[in-house]
Amino acid sequence: MVSVVLPSLLAAQAGGRKQFDVDAATVGLALRALPVADLIFDGSAGLRPLVNVYLDGADVRGMDGLATPVSGGQTVRVVAAVAGG
């Protein structure tokens, strides 16, 4: 099992739950198992522009992105960047 931690904004959309334990082989599959996956992914199955994902504190963009393998006990953290003027 891998823990996925959501920011408050996404947790509110997930019924108030901030953490989910999912059975997945990759970061992408772990995120797709969430009830808010449609808010994390864009129409082409990539991450939305202002969504950052970390595996045990390391940015997955520096690894294999969504294809980064995960194993039990690891934590995937979703961070929604703030933008605006």
* Domain ranges across the chain: 2-80
CATH topology of domain 2-80: Ubiquitin-like (UB roll) (3.10.20)
What pTM value is reported for the model?
A: 0.92
70-85 mean pLDDT: 88
- 67 three-class SS: helix
Q: Cα separation of 76 and 85, whole Å?
A: 29
Question: Residue 76 in 3-state DSSP?
Answer: strand
- 32-64 pLDDT, tens digit each: 999 999 999 998 889 998 999 999 999 999 999
Structure tokens at 14: 């997930």
